[in-house]
Amino acid sequence: MTAPLTPPHQPPPHDPDRPPPPPPTLGPDGDPITAAEVLQGLLVTLVSAIAGAVLGVLWLNLAPRVLLISDGKGVYLRNSEGEAAIGADGTFVLLALAFGAVAALVVFLARRKGGVPLVLGLALGGVLGSLLAWGLGTYFGPTSDVVAHAKAVGPDVAFEAPLELNLAAAAMLAWPLAAMIVHLALTALFGPRDPEPEPWDQPKAYTQGPGRS
């Protein structure tokens, strides 16, 4: 006589009525957002926005100047083939990229776990910081009233044009994009790993040798 391969009180391995396996344990990324994380994101936004003042000062001092000249009737570029206007945009973008990368590194070192509020704080803070830098640079730079400035210095005397961003929309995105990309890369490479879910124990089929007749 042969014993059954499956114990009487255990369902067969491929029983369609068998309940599904338990869901895996959620890691840190699956946890709900806490109030502390929201406050941390707001702090990152505030600090990044304030850091925009430093970016504005650096841009004001490092950006190349566009020189104008007046003949008493009109105002013209002193060097029509110069690339100073493009250089002002490039200087701002390079500085903004550096600020975004440094902000992402500091946030990652301060809180390796990451989180959605921190990423949003980096992005929003980068935009606000870029806007503040743009405003400070143009406000404290040469006056935007070119005609009055030309009259003040007199004809045939070179003077600086207002500090401007010709590609302002793209320049405003340099900081937040750099911050999010660098933070994502650091988190992927060096961030904490979620624990592996425990494997679902599959039922084992018990076999028994042929019984004695």
Output phi, psi for 69, to 5 deg: -150, 150
Picking from 49, 40, 34, 37, the residue whose alpha carbon sits closest to that of residue 124 is: 49
Edge-to-edge strands of the sheet including 159-160? 75-77, 67-70, 159-160
Summarised one tens digit per residue, pLDDT across range 34-67 is 888 899 999 999 999 999 999 999 999 999 888 8
What integer pLDDT is reported at residue 152 of this predicted model? 80
pTM above 0.85, yes or no: no
**Cα–Cα dist 185/135, whole Å:** 31
Asked whether residue 24 carries a pLDDT value surpassing 50, the answer given is: no
What integer pLDDT is reported at residue 213 of this predicted model? 46
**Cα–Cα dist 4/188, whole Å:** 51
Q: Assign 160 to helix, strand or coil.
A: strand
Mean pLDDT: which of 94-98, 114-118, 139-143, 203-207 is highest?
Answer: 94-98
Neighbours of 97 (CB within 10 A): 17
Output phi, psi for 68, to 5 deg: -115, 160
Summarised one tens digit per residue, pLDDT across range 174-192 is 999 999 999 999 998 887 7
DSSP structure string for 51-109: HHHHHHHHHHHHSPPPEEEE-SS-EEES-TT--HHHHHHHHHHHHHHHHHHHHHHHHHH
> How far, CA to CA in Å, does 111 sit from each of 29, 105, 155, 195?
14, 10, 58, 18
Asked whether residue 143 carries a pLDDT value surpassing 80, the answer given is: yes
